[in-house]
Chain A
Amino acid sequence: MKILIAEDDKFIREGIEEILKSEGYQTIVACDGQEAINLFETQCPDFVLLDIMMPNIDGYEVCRRIRKTDEQIPVIFISAKSEEIDKVIGLELGADDFIVKPFGTREVIARIRAITRRCLARAQNGNEAPKQITLKDLSVFPAELRAQRGDAIIELSLRDINILTLLHKMKGNVVNRDTIFNECWGRDYLPNSRTLDQHISKLRKQIEIDPKAPQIVKTVHGVGYRFDE
C-alpha cells in the first residue's frame, strides 16, 4: 500500500515515513504542496497524509485538487492548527481524518490502520481474497488488520498481516528471508536480517501464546520461517 506524505518539516516527514514503513506501507514524500500534487498525479498513492501549512500550495488547496480527480482516495490532514474551524474546513473539503500535532506514534498508527481497514474493505468487495485465514487457534482477518484468539482481539499492522498471509499461503514450506523481504517490505528495501528478526520477535509477542516457544511462526535457522498446520 502506497502512502503520499506531504509535510514541509523534514524531521516530521521522515518520522512519519519511518512509522508508516514499520507498519508495512510504501511511502512517497513531498515537501510542499506543488510536489504533493505532482506525486499524486504520477505515483497514484492509495492514500494521502497532508500538512496544512505548506509552502507554495497549502494542504487545503492540495486536498481540493486531489478531490477533483479522485473522490474516493482517503486523505488525512496532519496539522498544528487545532481550532475547530480548521478541522471543519478540512473535513468539509473531503478529508477522512484530522491528526493534530503534537501526535504520538500510536495515534498515527491507529488512525492509519482505521483508514487502511476501510481501503481494504472496499478493495475486498472487488476480489476473491479470503476474509479470514486460520493459523492454528488464531483467526486472522486481513481486511480488518485484526486477529482473534478466543475472545482476545489482537491489533496487527499491515506488515504483520502480509507476513501471516504469506506464511499461511506457504504453509508447511519454509519461506526464506528474501521472499519475506520482497513480499512484505518491498523490492526496493535493502535487506537487513536484524530488521526481520526484530519484527518477527515483536509479532510473536503479539500472536504467540508463548513467544519463546512459537507455534505459529517457527524459525528455520539460516533459511527463514515456516508455518505448520
Chain B
Amino acid sequence: MSKPLIDRIPFTRIVTVLAIVFGVSLGLCGLTLVVSNGADGAGFLMGLGMLELIAMALSALGLLLTLVAWVTLAVIGSFQAKVSQPQKLFDKEDDTNLDDRENPD
C-alpha cells in the first residue's frame, strides 16, 4: 500500500526553506531600497531591489499555499484515519480467554 500524500510531500522542509527565503528577501529588499536612495548606481540597485521584491512575493505566496495544503491534508488524513479504524466487536472485559471461561478454577 502506498504512503498517504501528507507523508510523501516534505512539507516541513518546504516551509523551512520558503520561510528563510522570504525572511532574507524581505530584509534585503528593504535595505536595497534605503541604500539606492540617491546613491551611485541607483539603477542597478533598483533592479536588484525588484528581483528581491519578486523573490519576496513568490516565497510569501509559496509559503501560504504550502501551509494551506499541509493543514488541509492533515485534516483529511485525520478524518480518513478515524473512518478506517477497525470496529471493536467486544468490550475489553468480554475479551477473556475461552479456557478461563470453561475452567473458572
Chain A bound to chain B: no
A residues with CB within 8 A of B: none
B residues with CB within 8 A of A: none
